[in-house]
Structures are given as C-alpha cells and as structure tokens.
A and B are shown apart, each in its own frame.
Chain A
C-alpha cells in the first residue's frame, strides 16, 4: 500500500502551493455604499414631516450624490485591491519557481554524472562489439539484438541528458548580456521560422508590429528563446486551421510589450497558475517536457520584465510579455 503523505511518509511534503488570497470583498464594499446612501435618504422622512417637502427633496438629492461618489471611490478601491492581488500572485509565482529551480538544478547535477558514465560505457560496449566482429551490420545470432539494445540505451541516455540540461538552463544564474535590439525584427525572424510548419497545417501568422518601437536593451538570444517557445506553444494549441497573431507595442514611456495570441484550444482556469511550473505539461509523454514556459518565465524575470497569460477554453490564448526599454541610453 502506498501513502501519498502523512507523518509516516518517508519524505516530508513540501507545500509550495500559493496560499489562498482573499477576494477583494466587492460585496462588502457595495454594502458600504448602500449604507452611506441610506443615511441621508432616511433623513428625508423626518425632514419631510418637520420641515416640508423641499428639505426632503434636498436630502434625497444629497443621497443620490453620495451614492455616486461612494460608487466611484469604491470602484477605485476595488481596482487597486485587484491589482495588489495580481502582484502578490506574481510574487508568489516567482518565489515558487525560484524554489523549484533550486531543487531541480541540484537533482540535475546529481543525475548528470552517472548519466555521463552510462553514456561512456555504452560507447565502450559498442566499441568492444565492433572489435569482436559483431558490430551493428553483422547480424550474428543474438548479437544483433544485443546491438539494438545498446543503441536504445544510448538514445534514452541522450533524452535524459537533454532534460537535465534544460533544467540546469532553467536554474542557471548566468547574468544576461545586454544589447540594443530591434524587437520587431527579432520577433519576425522567429515568426518566419515557425511559419513554414504552421502553414502546412493551415495556421496563419498575422503581424501587428508597431512601427516606431524604441530599441530594447535586452539579451537577444534569450529573448529569441522566449519568442520561439511561445510561438511553438501557440502553433501546437491549434489543431488545424487557425490564426496566430503577433503584436508589438509601446507600453508607456519606458516599456514595450509583445503578445502572442492563438485561436487554439485554450487553457482551463484550473491550469492557469500551473503552466509556468517546470514539468507541467498536457502533452502526451515523450512529446513535451513541460519546461518551455518555465524557461520563458525565468528568462523574462532575469531581463527585468514580466509575462502573463489570458485564456479561454475553446477560444484561444494570449501571452503578453512586458519588457523595460531604456531608450535614453541609446543604441551603443
């Protein structure tokens, strides 16, 4: 019998799920608005009895005005609250990813060494086989099967190695190298790369580039990796026939944004806060490692930006990347 958790379990549970964040409490705020309005409104009755209808009307108009003023401020409070929650979530997300990154790079390091040795031994065995005259092209008895097995082991070792390398990459603390980049061009290069395969499946790529975008100071190869990952995900999400829209735009004075939207399957709400986790994937085993978006998240945070997602099941998904643009420093 297996136990999932509990005090007798061998490994302690690490709880890294985000703690629940309170709803902005919209309804409570609305109640407050009603109360503020009721006060002058209630005064209207005694005023009507004691001082006549004019004063009662006055009280009612005061009530109307306070209803609107209170509504306005309560709306603002609610919005501010919502924004704070979003920031909190982003912070938790980053911390969670940092913790997972730390853990997984440790594991990747540990696994890499034995993996390298297995790989070497496989090569050595292949070499011995060849020396003994039963290399891959001499099907001597059971030896050809032996050879096939060796090749398969080698293949699987390569696969593991790919994963550990991606993991190490994800957790790597290397500082980005910052250069001035024309973001439209960088994105267009990657779009061309995806376009050929997309078109074969009737997926169109639409461009919406803002022409006078300021240069971005960022790490070009890292940013290319992000764009490519997002485009590849979008392409995958569309089964057949659909549109991927790429947009770039200025975002305020010192930032630029780019978006990758698709008309694909969408992401169910319960998965939305998991997609940036390493190893979260809905692809069949062997097809995706679930590291794409976590690598993107890591890169974008390193570049001082942020990445967010908006999705509706059956309609599509939009990823938005926000990056600082230091226009004042010019282009090197």
Chain B
C-alpha cells in the first residue's frame, strides 16, 4: 500500500509544526502549510489522502477552502479541526462534504483513528469508482 499522506493546514505555526512532527513520528507522511491558498496550491501539485483543515484562518477561511478542495478533488477527505467550535460552522462543514469536525485540543490517538477512517473512506470511494467503470 502506498504511503499515507496527510496535509495539515493551520495559520498557527507552532501548532502546525508540532502536529506535523507528531504525525511523522507515527509514520505518516505529514506536510504542513499555513493558509488555505497554500493548501490549494500544493493540492494542485501533489497527492494527499486526507487534509486536516483549521476553520478560522485569515484569507481563504476553512469552509471556503473545504468547498474548493471538494470541488477540485472530491475524493480527498477533509477533517475540520478547530479551536473555536460553532454549531453553525460545524453544520456548514458537514454539509460541504467534510468527513469530520473535531474540536481542539484533540488527542493524537483520537486524531490518528479519525485519519485512518477518513483514509478508509477514500479507498472505498476509489474502489467503487473503479468497479463502476468496469460494469458499463
């Protein structure tokens, strides 16, 4: 199986770096970027399985970034991760195709389990599309 690639998007640099380090320690190929725009940029060039996305960011915010990711690459799964939980944005996030909406601080084990589930979903999705193509 190819490597599990995770993109983390958060404008809080300290948080971003710590999370990347911790995920790498768990043998995930984690990359961090600090804005929605940069996330879309790197997603255009590289393949990621799951994106962890902060909700509140200056510039392109989390929900807008999520919508754009889902428009460009619908198979990429996105987990929203936020310190400022609001029901409104949670509903918007789930509505716009997020896999999950998680409140900070989230334990690393919890997060990894969610990442695995999100990745499982992506694989299922790919599998379905492949089998749909076979049967006309």
Contacts and interface: CB of A to CB of B under 8 A. Distances in A.
Interface string A214-255: 000000110011001101100100000000000000000000
Given A194-B87, A197-B86, A221 B102 contact: no
Interface in A87-132: none
A232 B117 contact: no
B95 A166 contact: yes
A220 B91 contact: no
Interface in A186-215: 189-190, 192-194, 196-197
Interface stretch (B14-22, B27-35, B46-54, B119-127): B119-127
Contacts, number: 54
B100 interface: yes
A232 B91 contact: yes
B36 interface: no
A332 B120 contact: yes
A221 B79 CA distance: 10
B20 to A, nearest CB: 23
A224 B94 contact: yes
Nearest to B92: A162
A165 B66 CA distance: 15
A220 B120 CA distance: 11
Contacts of B87: 193-194, 197, 228, 231-232, 235
A332 B99 CA distance: 18
B85 A220 contact: no
Contact of B101 (A169, A178, A193): A193
Contacts of B101: 189-190, 193, 224
B42 interface: no
B100 A220 contact: yes
Contact of A229 (B85, B91, B99): B91
Nearest to A235: B87
Interface centre among A221, A225, A235 (most CB of B within 10 A): A221
B108 interface: no
Given A192-B103, A193-B103, A221-B99, A179 B120 contact: yes
Contacts of B124: 177-179
B128 interface: yes
A221 B94 contact: yes
Contacts of B99: 220-221
Nearest to B84: A196
Interface in A168-190: 169, 175, 177-179, 189-190
A247 to B, nearest CB: 20
B90 interface: yes
Contacts of B97: 221
Interface in A134-180: 165-166, 169, 175, 177-179
A283 B93 CA distance: 22
Contacts of B94: 221, 224-225, 228
Nearest to B125: A177
Contacts of A235: 87
A228 B102 contact: no
Contacts of A194: 87
A148 to B, nearest CB: 22
A273 B95 CA distance: 25
Given A228-B94, A232-B91, A177 B128 contact: yes
A198 B94 CA distance: 19
B115 interface: no
Contact of B121 (A175, A179, A189, A225): A179
A267 B81 CA distance: 35
A177 B121 contact: yes
A214 to B, nearest CB: 17
A189 B95 CA distance: 16
Contacts of B98: 221
Contacts of A228: 87, 90-91, 94
Given A177-B125, A225-B95, 7 more contacts: A166-B95, A177-B128, A179-B117, A179-B124, A193-B87, A231-B87, A235-B87
